Each structure stands twice: as C-alpha cells, then as structure tokens.
Structure 1
Amino acid sequence: MSAFWETDEHRAFREQVRRFTAEQIVPQIDAWEADGELPLSLHEQAADVGLLGVGFPEAYGGLETPDSFYPLIVIDELCRAGSGGLIASLLSLGIGLPPIVALGSDALKRRVLPDVLAGRKVSALAITEPSGGSDVANLKTHARRDGDHYVLNGSKTFITSGMRAHWMTVAARTGDAGMQGISLFAVPGDVPGLGRTSLDKMGWRCSDTATLYFEDCRVPADCLIGQENAGFLGIMRNFNGERLALAAQAVGLAQCAYDEALDWARQRETFGRPLSQRQVIRHKLVDMLTAIASQRAHLNELAWRCEQGEAPIAELCMLKNGATAMLEQVAGEAVQILGGAGYLRGCRSERIFRETKVLSIGGGASEVMKDLAARQLGL
C-alpha cells in the first residue's frame, strides 16, 4: 500500500531499489551473515544505482532529491532481504556523514564525502562508550590540541561498521564537563594509535561491530568538524533522523516477517487443510497486519511533519518505541506460525526475531525514549 505522500517518481525509485535488493542482495545475504560483514563491492554497487548518495549534496557526489522521503524508501525496500544488519552496515554513512555535511568545512567535505558516497570507503559514527551510551553529555574520550593536531585518547564501543570504516565521526571531550565541552572529529581509519576489536552479536551478524581504542591518536586539526566544543549540536541533530530511520526499519522488517508467515500459512497443510484456513492463524495474521499498519501510518505522519520543517522530538521517541515493540510482537508471531521452519537459520523471520532487541536499544533505549518524550511534553 502506497503512502499518502508517494508520487510516481517515488514509486519508480522504489521499484529500482526493490529490483536491486532482489538481484544483488537476497541471493547473497546468508553468505554475508556467515562471513560477519558485507563486501565493499556491495557499497560500490549500491552507489552505482543511486542508493548511497540519496539526500546528500550533489557537489560532493550525492543524489539530491525533491524531498526527504527517498531514504525511507531505501530502508523499506532493503528490508525485503530480512536483515537489519544489512541496513545498519550498508547505510552506516547515514549517521556518519550528516554531522560533516551540516558542520564541516568545504575542504573536509571534499576529502571525506566523495569516496564514501561512491562506495569506495565506509563511514561510521563513534559516540557510544563502554561507560555509557545514551548519556552523551558525560562521554570520557578526550582530545587535546597539540600544534596542528589533536591527540585523542579513550574508547568507543558498539560501533556499527567499526571494523571496516575508513572514516569515523568521533565525539571527544575538548572542554569542560557537560554538553558544552564536546567536539566532533573526522578520524581516518589508518591513524596511528587506533585499535579495533570485533564484537560477536546475537543479531545483525553481517554488520561488523567494533570497540575502538584511541591511544595518543594524532588527528590533523583540520579534521575538526565545525567549531571546537560545539559538537553536541551535531550529535543531537543526528538523533531525530536516526530514530525515524530505526522506526522505518522496524516497520519494514515486520512487513517482511508478516509476508513470510502469510506465504507459509497458505502453503503449509495440517490435518488436510492449509494453516491459513484455521481461525486461530487467520486472527494472528490480522492482528499482525493491524499492528504494522498502525505504526506505518504513524511513521508516514511524522516523516511528513519532519519534511515540513518540524522537529517533533517527543513523537519521534514514541514512534521509535511503538515501532520496535510492534516488531517484537510481529516477529514472534511469525516464528510461531512458521513453527519448526521458523526456528532454522536461513528463514528470514528467524533472523528478524533475533534482531528485534537491538532496535529497542540502539539510537536511544526505549526507557530513555520514554523519559525524553515525557520531558518534551512537560510531564
């Protein structure tokens, strides 16, 4: 079902992404899950068909679009492969590059963006630390100015694309305690003193995830993104888009699980009748589709409001919580309908079921989202 904002141009682009997903991703996704990472060639292929550059400035190799709905179409169609790790890793530039686009100098943009948008290099965002995730204002990684360099010391963890990233947008403390003392840096992946350790995860298997260690890393001063001690704004501006994207991923993956369960219910026979003819299964499917439709409507509404220039922070927090909780419900029911088949690797619903919790944790845990929404609403 098309969203109320979809035009013929949106639908044509959707078909392009759908075809790319079916031809280039679905046949390989299980192998990439086993490998624990995506090949760099996939980034290049995605760039060639216009997926990576969507929404980024044309001057640096991006693909400027009439509105901001195109990235949501990319996420929705990539979800047909049934892998959240695919989306997290392939589109990690979606959280790594925006602070550079918004705050970076032209020289820094020209140094970083073209190769990443062409798929030749990978971008990551490095904010979360071992001591805390959502409490960004109290991060401990620090950077001190030393001539024409900054010297970074500290660590980051749960960094998506952290093992493969050629550029990392890193938050570090350059000033006093609190949000006013944080700066952002574009850190090259080959900087001396940078160490990386791979993290083994329950889900998002094809998305490489790392802990990063900075030990006297000398980063050129011109890699500072924006002004010193003004990085917190760039981080906060990133969050709204990230939470909208996570909600879109939850909705898309829920639809994928539903479609697989529906197809199975129509084919699988028990006691001489297809599962889909049994009332208990039919009611499950209706409940699943009702939940998906509700969150998709909320997603479309907030995407439209953001496109109009609003920043509905409280509503985006509630959307993320509602969509991720819905995904847990739908994925669980899909596995139940699939029965033993849904417990086997290679089944999309099995993979989605394992991945549900990361969406309710990443981008701000559901408990943090509720507290932030309450504050925004003046409760």
Structure 2
Amino acid sequence: MDNIYLTPEHELLREQVARFIAREVEPYAAAWEEQGFVPREVLKKMGDAGLLGLAYDAEHGGGEADALTNLVFAEALSQSTFGGFIITVLVHTDMASPHLFHAGTDAQKARYLPGVTSGELITAVGISEPGAGSDVAGMRTNAKRDGDEWVINGTKMFITNGVLANLYFVAAKTGPGRHDMSMFIVEKGTPGFSVGRALKKTGWLSSDTAELIFDNVRIPAENILGEEGKGFYSVMKNFQTERIALGAMAVSHCNQALLMTLDHVRQRQAFGGTLWDKQVIRQRIAMLDAKTRAARQFMYHCAWAVTQGKDIVQEVSMLKALTGELVNEVLTTCQQFHGGMGFIRETAIERLWRDARVLGIGGGATEVMLDEVAKRY
C-alpha cells in the first residue's frame, strides 16, 4: 500500500537496507543467535555504508535526516526475522547515541560522534535497574561531585549492548528529589566500572544483554551529559524516538509473520482442503492485517508530527502500547496457524514469536504507556 509520507529517497534507503540484510545478516544470523551477540564487524560495515548516523549532522559523519527517514530505516531494518540483530542496531542508533547528539557539548560530539556513526564506537544506555525499569524515577544509582570528578555507584540491569559497547550513557541520581538525575558519559575500561554478567533471555538471542556495576567509578566533571539535574527530562524526550523505533519493529514483525502465515495456510492441507479454505482462518488473518495496516499509518503519522515539532508524547505512548500488544496478538495467532512447526526452534515464525514478547515490556511496559496516555486527557 502506498504511503503518503514516503519519497523516492525513502524507498532507496529501504532498498539499501534490504540489500545489506540479505547480504550481511540473514546468512549468518542463526550463528549469532547461538553465540549471543552480533559481531562488531557487522556494525562497522553498517557504519561504512552510512547507516549508523542518519539523523546526525554531516560534520560528524551523519546524514542529517529527519524523523520520517529514521523511521524508514527502523522499519526496513526490522524486515529481518532476527530481532536480536535489529535491537542491537536500534539501541545504538535510536536509543543510546541520541543522548549524545541532543545533549552533548560541541567538544563531546567532536570526540565521540564520528566513532558512533562509523561503527568504531558501539553505544549502550544505562537506565533500567533491578528495581526500576519503566519507573525511571525510581532508580538508585547515584553520582556525587568530588572536586573535578563525579563518582558513580550503583547497578544497571537489562542493558542491551552491555557487553558489546565501549561507550555508555548512564543515568544517575544527583539530588534528593525523585526526578533529580543526570546523564553521564562512561567509557569501557574506566576503573570501577564492570559488566557483572551477561543475561540469558527468552528472545532476542543475538543481542547481548548485561548487568552493569558501578563501584566508585570516577569520571571527569566534563563527562556530564547535558545540564545537571535535568537527566530525567532528557530520558523522557529520547523515549519518543525510542518508542517510534520499537513501534516500527513491532509492525514489521507483524507484516513478516502475516506473509509467512499466508504462504503456509495456502499450502497446508488439512480436512480435505487447505487451511486457507477455512473461513475462520482467512477472516482472522484479514482482521490482523487490517489492524497492522492501521498501526503502520498511525506510526508514520507520529514520525511526521515529530518533523513538525509537535508535542506527541500522548500519541507515541499510544503507539507503543498499541504495537506492543498487537505484535503479540499477531505472532501468537500466526504461530498457532503453523501448528507444530510453529513450536520448533530455528523456524522463523517461532523466532519471531519469542522475540515479539518483549515488545510489550521493553521501552515502557504497556500498562505504563497507557497511564502516560491517560494522564494527558
């Protein structure tokens, strides 16, 4: 279906990403699932292709693209059936490094952004904790000023790219108030900073997810990212980019699953005909396709609104809640229609089903998103 928001340049980007996935990802990604991470060389190839800094300024290797172009990239990337690869990239491009781009000083950008866009530096963002996930303000990690340094103590949990990254943007409390927090730049190898353990997950198997430990980690005072005490608002602002990207991932998973399932039910013989001959199955697929198309149009509207400078926290929260639930509805149904094969490891539909589950949790759980919506009525 045509999309009124897209231009020929957007379609060229989509085709470039599709070629990259076909050449550099799909033949190898099953092995990455086994090893638990995406090789750094793959991300470097993406950087060489100009795909890791689309939204950033040309001075630092970026493409100066708008939110719609960024959405096209996220959607095209998410045509892969390997969610672990997708989230490894999207955390770097849409969830971690935007903190540097939006809040960094000229000196910080000059030092780090060229490496971010080239793939030499892989980024992660440290916000979630064992007792504070969607409730960002409930974090306990703290940072205290000591002369020309900040001293960070605490633990972060569920950090995507936690092992792979060499540059981290870390949120820590810097005052007594619930929202008194700041963001900091921490490089891998800083004394006192360590990866506690790599976490085993149900899905996203080719993305590394880790616990991070900060034990009297001393960083230079100039490593604060943005204004002291304003980190909460920086995190909330960046969540809009993150949640649109996660919406793109969810919608693309829906599309992929529906296409696979259409192909399957048209061929699968049962009870004297194909599964497609069963009215309940074809009507169910039709309704899920309708919901997916509607969600996609809403997603593009949200990205367009960002390009217009509109305040759309409510709409993006709706989008995250809607797509996070929809992808689980679609994948559960599509897996069911695949029968026993839908429960076999190494089939694409089973992998998509596993990977879909976290999309109703990560980046803001559905219940939290709906509360964000309700607060703005």
Pair in the same fold by TM > 0.5: yes
Q: Give runs of aligned pairs for residues 185-264 of structure 1, distance below 5 A.
A: 185-196=184-195, 197-264=197-264
> 2:8 aligns to what?
8
With normalisation by structure 1, the TM-score equals 0.95
Does the CA contact (< 8 Å) of 2:131 and 2:138 recur in 1? no
C-alpha RMSD of the superposition: 1.4
- Extract unaligned runs of 5+ from structure 1: none
Offset, 1:19: 1.2
Distance (Å, rounded) in 2 between the aligned partners of 1:245 and 1:147: 39
Distance (Å, rounded) in 2 between the aligned partners of 1:211 and 1:374: 33
2:52 is equivalent to residue 89 of structure 1? no
> 1:316 aligns to what?
316
| CA distances 1:191-244 after superposition (whole Å, capped 9, x unpaired) | 111121111111111110011110011112121112222222211110111111
Does the CA contact (< 8 Å) of 2:47 and 2:118 recur in 1? yes
SS for the counterpart of 1:80 is: coil
Does the CA contact (< 8 Å) of 1:239 and 1:363 recur in 2? yes
Offset, 1:272: 5.5
Identity, % of aligned pairs?
A: 39
- Extract unaligned runs of 5+ from structure 2: none
> 2:326 aligns to what?
326
| CA distances 1:125-146 after superposition (whole Å, capped 9, x unpaired) | 1011112112222321111122
Greater shift after overlay, 157-166 or 70-79?
70-79
> 1:102 aligns to what?
102
> 2:127 aligns to what?
127
Does the CA contact (< 8 Å) of 1:143 and 1:152 recur in 2? yes
| CA distances 1:271-300 after superposition (whole Å, capped 9, x unpaired) | 553333332332222122112112112112
> 2:79 aligns to what?
80
Distance (Å, rounded) in 2 between the aligned partners of 1:23 and 1:275: 34
Does the CA contact (< 8 Å) of 2:50 and 2:118 recur in 1? no
Offset, 1:119: 0.9
Greater shift after overlay, 119-128 or 142-151?
142-151
Does the CA contact (< 8 Å) of 2:90 and 2:245 recur in 1? no
Does the CA contact (< 8 Å) of 1:38 and 1:206 recur in 2? yes
SS for the counterpart of 1:53 is: coil
The one-letter amino acid paired with 1:246 is L
Does the CA contact (< 8 Å) of 2:80 and 2:86 recur in 1? no
Taking a change above 3 Å as real, the CA distance of residues 132 and 84 of structure 1, as seen in their structure-2 partners, is same
Offset, 1:269: 2.8
> 1:298 aligns to what?
298
With normalisation by structure 2, the TM-score equals 0.96
Offset, 1:32: 0.8
